[in-house]
Amino acid sequence: MQFLADWRLATLSMILSSFLSDIVTARNLKSCTMYNEFCVPVQNCTLYKQYTSTPYRNWPEELRKKATNSLCNDEVINSAKVLSVCCPTSMNPKECGLQSVNRISKGSIAMLYEYPWMVLLENSKKEFVCGGTLISKRHVLTAAHCIRNSAAITSVRVGELDLSKEIDCNIVENEMDCADPPQDIKVVKITRHPSHSQRDKKNDIALLRLERPVAFSHSVRPICIPNGTPEQRSVNPSFYIISGWGLTENGTSFDVLRYARVPPVSLDNCATSVKRISVALRLDQSQICAGGIDAIDSCAGDSGGPLQYVSNRTSRFYQLGVVSYGVRSCGEQSAPGVYTNLMSYLNWIVENVDE
């Protein structure tokens, strides 16, 4: 089986190298737009995927022209040339990452219209068991371990702030300002990363496809996802933000959405804390560590929820991680949390987010 996989990869590489030789000498690398485009290997882009097993000269003329004009990166990874194109997706619409408030509130409890991409996952027992993020009108990003429980995830809720209230409202200049009612939408497809390992806690990422598109509003918007360009791959925030209702697979939660600022932690420094969970666990570049300064910080995070930052250039929120494990010591001890690093999974996300 490994020989067959290697042969297929070698064949694909030869086909794509032909593609590269046709255009690389005359090309200028394109900078993908921040809206609805991701810089991913051509074989991971749905638009071109069905043609990548055939010689480039046999592609439809319009598609060849589009691919030639969409080249955004060519780099060597593991001794192989990887050709990337700006791939159109339903993610990162113009509404992504924007809040209908002027700034992050100073408290730990979220204000109305803050973090409008937050999602609650509901199981067949009608329990909210994990968090997630809205990344398009029909897709939610979460952790793979959130969908391995005995009670299957059946629906999601978007546009929620306070679980104890039917409608979330705020008083502005003596007038009542109320959000639209939350939207409860069925999940019709669950895609867990095929290499997810609960024992090793690796590849802890999953996608949910919704039965119908969500209706965007001030309280419902998707978060931005880094689109794979060199600029966004090299981002190094001075702090992250986690947000959620404190939902974990153990059933703990708060009624009101909360958030906290958490500092980045190097993988080397994080490894010591991880060994408290299991000496067999190993961290790698597919993971991010953050937090551990104040034990109360970890209370704000959901399993499956986002590790996010605010872009200094665009003032938009981008998601860099998914809460994986370690964020379970709420109020007990200071320990960093471990997050799935989205930069390692951008190709997989783009490949599995259909229209």
| Per-residue confidence (pLDDT) for residue 253, from 0 to 100 | 77
The two three-digit tokens of residue 19, written as one number: 């593609």
- DSSP letter (8 states) at residue 42: G
| Per-residue confidence (pLDDT) for residue 214, from 0 to 100 | 97
CB 203 within 8 A of CB 195: yes
Distance, first Cα to last Cα, the chain = 32
| Per-residue confidence (pLDDT) for residue 95, from 0 to 100 | 93
CA atoms within 13 A on the CB side of 283: 25
| Per-residue confidence (pLDDT) for residue 145, from 0 to 100 | 92
| 204 annotated active-site | yes
- Give the integer Cα–Cα distance in Å for 95 and 310: 15
Instruction: Report the 10 Å Cβ neighbour count for 214.
Output: 21
The two three-digit tokens of residue 269, written as one number: 């420094």
Domain with CATH 2.40.10.10 in the chain: 118-352
Q: What is the identity of the amino acid at 305? A: G
| 145 annotated active-site | yes
The two three-digit tokens of residue 95, written as one number: 């509404």
**Number of helices followed by number of strands (H, E) in the chain:** 6, 18
| Per-residue confidence (pLDDT) for residue 149, from 0 to 100 | 64
- Between strands 169-172 and 153-158, the pairing is unpaired
| Per-residue confidence (pLDDT) for residue 300, from 0 to 100 | 67
| Per-residue confidence (pLDDT) for residue 337, from 0 to 100 | 86
- Give the integer Cα–Cα distance in Å for 97 and 87: 20
Ranges in the chain, pLDDT < 70: 1-27, 76-80, 102-107, 149-150, 248-252, 293-300, 327-334, 355
- For residue 88, give the 3-state DSSP assignment: strand
The one catalytic residue among 145, 155, 219, 243: 145
The one catalytic residue among 204, 219, 297, 298: 204
Encode 145-163: b = buried (16+ Cβ within 10 Å), e = exposed: bbbeeeeebebbbbbbbbb
| Per-residue confidence (pLDDT) for residue 132, from 0 to 100 | 96
The two three-digit tokens of residue 212, written as one number: 């119908």
CA distances from residue 116 to 68, 134, 194, 312 in whole angstroms, order as listed: 37, 9, 29, 19
Q: 118-352 falls under which CATH superfamily?
A: Trypsin-like serine proteases (2.40.10.10)
Beta bridge partners, 243, equal: 259
